[in-house]
Amino acid sequence: MSVTIKDIAKKANISYPSVSRALSGKPGVSSKTREKVLKIAKEMNYQPNALARSLVQNRTATIGLIIPDILNPYFSETAKGVEDEAHSRGLSVFLCNSDWDGDREGKYIDQLIANRVDGIILFPTSPANISEIRRKAGRKLPVVILGTTQTEDVSISISIDNVLGAELSVVHLLNKKYRKLAFIGGKPGLSGVDDRLEGYKKALEKFGLPVENEMIVENGFTFESGYNAMNDLLDQSRRPDAVFAENDVIAMGVIQALRTRGLRVPEDIAVVGFDDIPMASMAGIDLTTVRQPKYEMGKMAVSELHSVLQGESVPNVNKRLVLEPKLIIRKTG
């Protein structure tokens, strides 16, 4: 077993609470004993036990982050923001990858609560899980919901204005005289992404164009699903002249499908994405897309948790932070 404060106390000939006080920098010890304790602790290679401390203090300096897919650069960038901000505030992060699986997400929530994290940041895969986490988290555990403002229950949410983001980019296509616009999305159900469909429809209506169901495909959030969805669309009798993809990874799959078939982007079919992942700006890709402040959203999530933990803000209000999307025009649309 490892060295404990009792071992140090024995060696220093003092009581172990004094060692505790000395190590944690609390008042109540002479600077002389403090120095002595610190020296002995170092000599003995003492490693504090955060579990024991957490058990009595009822806080762990630990937070949980649940995201659907760490391979999607959108989420890794958010995760980086969370990680950086947490580190600068002395918090450790449990990373959980739900894989767009609601059950797995649920298990992770239980795991995090069992580990008594001080807060949870969740990018939900379904609206049902938002109520579930609120129920499980109870009145005390702060939760930040990312990517959607659909939080009937009390919690903090951080998201961009998705309707506006989609509208901006579809209007852009329409201004460029594209008229047959497809929507390739992930999965209906979450407000964050449903809002993008709404923005798409809104833009079409603004131009007096009909919403055609055969032009709307919702197939999953990955590169492959974008690839397959585009191929399906191309096999239809009526082809779109432009595509609005619900995220950049889908857009990349769409472009892959087009180029594989020998079609040019945007000359034959234009493509716009959503998120502005780093790859989008690469020469050879040059994806027109809608920028989200991903990294900042991750940092904000931790700040919000932290201010609740510090008692600076009330834990159980329904606080919605809605950020601005920004259209980034490049070459694909």
Partner DNA sequence: TTGAAAGCGCTAACAC
Partner DNA sequence: GTGTTAGCGCTTTCAA
Binding site for a copy of itself (CB under 8 A): 1-2, 45, 47-52, 54-55, 58, 60, 62, 65, 70-71, 73, 76-77, 79-80, 83-84, 87, 92-97, 99, 104, 110-116, 136, 138, 223, 252, 255-256, 259-260, 278-279, 282-285
Pick from 29, 40, 233, 285: which binds DNA (CB under 7 A)?
29
Q: CA–CA separation, 128 vs 277, rounded Å?
A: 28
For 113, residues 6+ apart whose C-beta sits below 8 A from its C-beta are: 136, 137, 141
* Partner whose footprint covers residue 20, from a copy of itself, DNA, none (CB < 5 to 8 Å by kind): DNA
188 binds DNA (CB under 7 A): no
| DSSP string across 209-274 | PPP-GGGEEE--SSHHHHHHHHHHHHHSSSPPSEEEESSHHHHHHHHHHHHHTT--TTTTSEEE-S
| DSSP string across 109-132 | HHHHHHTT-SEEEE--SSHHHHHH
* Partner whose footprint covers residue 175, from a copy of itself, DNA, none (CB < 5 to 8 Å by kind): none
57 binds DNA (CB under 7 A): yes
Are 59 and 90 in contact by the 8 Å Cβ rule? The answer is no
Residue type, 324: E
The piece of 45-53, 65-73, 83-91, 178-186 that touches DNA (CB under 7 A) is 45-53
Residue 49, helix vs strand vs coil: coil
> Could you tell me how many residues of this chain bind DNA (CB under 7 A)?
30
Question: Which residue do the tokens 């980086």 mark?
Answer: 80
5 binds DNA (CB under 7 A): yes
Nearer to DNA, 59 or 206 (CB): 59
Pick from 11, 33, 92, 211: which binds DNA (CB under 7 A)?
33
Nearer to DNA, 55 or 329 (CB): 55
Shortest CB 43 distance to DNA, Å = 15
Q: Positive or negative, the Cα torsion across 196, 273, 143, 312?
A: negative
Q: CA–CA separation, 302 vs 304, rounded Å?
A: 5
Which H or E run contains 322? strand 319-323
Pick from 15, 88, 115, 175: which binds DNA (CB under 7 A)?
15
Nearer to a copy of itself, 200 or 223 (CB): 223
* Partner whose footprint covers residue 113, from a copy of itself, DNA, none (CB < 5 to 8 Å by kind): a copy of itself
* Partner whose footprint covers residue 30, from DNA, a copy of itself, none (CB < 5 to 8 Å by kind): DNA
115 binds DNA (CB under 7 A): no
Are 324 and 160 in contact by the 8 Å Cβ rule? The answer is yes
* Partner whose footprint covers residue 259, from a copy of itself, DNA, none (CB < 5 to 8 Å by kind): a copy of itself
Per DSSP, 183 falls in state E
Q: CA–CA separation, 152 vs 8, rounded Å?
A: 52
Binding residues vs DNA (CB under 7 A): 1-2, 4-6, 13-18, 20-21, 23-24, 26-30, 32-33, 48-49, 52-53, 55-58
